[in-house]
C-alpha cells in the first residue's frame, strides 16, 4: 500500500480482466450522470477503438478542456505511456519517442464533483500540484477508491477528476493494460493513439 500511495503523489495523471463488457458498464455507471445528450468521443488506437461518454455537467471545465484538445487534433500521434495492469492506463501527452508535447495552461481540479474512480471511468492525470492537469488522462482498470476526492487539506485528499466513462471498447482497454512494460511502467511496444474524434 505504501508504494501505491507514493505513486499517487507523483501521478501525472478489484476486478479481474476477464469481466464482461456488461460488468464494466455497470461498474463505470456508479454515481455517474449518464444521459443521451452527453458528448461522446472515440479513441482510435493501434490496438482498437475505445468509446467514451463525457460528463460536462459534473466536470464542465475538464470536459471543455479535453474536447478542445480533441478538436485541435492534439492527441493524434500520442501514446499510452504509462500502464499498470491492476491500476490504470495513462496517455495523451507523450509522443512515441517519449517526448512531452507542449500543452495549454493547467485547469482547476474538479474532483469534488461526486464522481468516483471506478473501473472504466476516465480521469485527468496531474502532478502533486492539485491544479496541474493539462492534456493527460487515464482510464481506471480497477476500483481505485484511493484516487477519489476526500477533502481539500492536501493533494492526496483532493483526488483526481473523473470526467467520463468507457461505453464501448473496454476489451481494448483490458488488452492495453496487459502489454509488457519496462522502466517507469512504459510499454515496451508502442500503444499509439492514432486520433480522438467527437462522435
* pLDDT tens column, 53-101: 999 999 999 999 999 999 999 999 999 999 999 999 999 999 999 999 9
**At 154, is the pLDDT very low, low, confident or very high (cuts 50, 70, 90)?**
very high
Query: Strands (DSSP E) along the chain, which ranges?
Result: 40-45, 48-54, 78-84, 88-91, 121-124, 137-140, 162-168, 192-198
The pLDDT > 70 percentage for the chain reads 82
**At 33, is the pLDDT very low, low, confident or very high (cuts 50, 70, 90)?**
low
Q: Cα–Cα distance between 117 and 149 in angstroms, integer?
A: 9
pLDDT at 30: 42
> Across residues 158-172, what is the average pLDDT?
98
Q: What is the pTM of this model?
A: 0.85
pLDDT at 35: 56
Mean of the per-residue pLDDT values of the chain: 87
Q: Cα–Cα distance between 103 and 115 in angstroms, integer?
A: 25
Q: Is the pLDDT of residue 6 over 80?
A: no
pLDDT at 140: 98
- How many other CB atoms are found less than 10 A from the CB of residue 3? 6
Q: Where are the domains of the chain?
A: 13-198
Q: Which of 94, 92, 77 lies closest to 192, judged by CA?
A: 77
Sign of CA dihedral 183, 185, 191, 195: negative
> Across residues 140-161, what is the average pLDDT?
97
Q: Which residue has the higher pLDDT, 97 or 6?
A: 97
- Of the candidate CATH numbers 3.40.50.1010, 2.60.120.260, 2.40.100.10, 3.40.50.300, the domain formed by 13-198 belongs to 2.40.100.10
Amino acid at each position: 500500500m505504501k508504494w501505491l500511495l507514493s505513486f499517487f503523489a507523483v501521478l501525472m495523471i478489484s476486478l479481474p480482466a476477464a469481466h464482461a463488457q456488461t460488468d464494466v458498464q455497470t461498474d463505470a455507471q456508479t454515481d455517474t450522470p449518464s444521459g443521451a445528450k452527453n458528448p461522446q468521443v472515440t479513441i482510435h488506437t493501434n490496438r482498437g477503438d475505445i468509446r467514451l461518454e463525457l460528463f460536462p455537467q459534473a466536470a464542465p471545465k475538464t470536459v471543455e478542456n479535453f474536447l478542445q484538445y480533441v478538436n485541435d487534433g492534439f492527441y493524434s500521434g500520442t501514446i499510452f505511456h504509462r500502464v499498470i495492469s491492476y491500476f490504470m492506463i495513462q496517455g495523451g501527452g507523450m509522443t512515441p519517442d517519449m517526448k512531452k508535447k507542449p500543452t495549454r495552461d493547467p485547469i482547476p481540479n474538479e474532483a469534488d464533483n461526486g464522481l468516483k474512480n471506478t473501473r472504466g471511468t476516465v480521469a485527468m492525470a496531474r502532478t502533486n500540484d492539485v491544479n496541474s492537469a493539462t492534456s493527460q488522462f487515464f482510464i481506471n482498470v480497477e476500483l481505485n477508491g484511493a484516487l477519489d476526492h476526500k477533502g481539500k487539506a492536501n493533494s492526496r485528499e483532493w483526488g483526481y477528476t473523473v470526467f467520463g466513462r468507457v461505453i464501448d471498447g473496454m476489451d481494448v482497454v483490458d488488452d492495453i493494460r496487459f502489454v509488457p512494460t519496462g522502466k517507469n511502467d512504459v510499454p515496451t511496444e508502442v500503444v499509439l493513439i492514432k486520433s480522438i474524434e467527437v462522435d
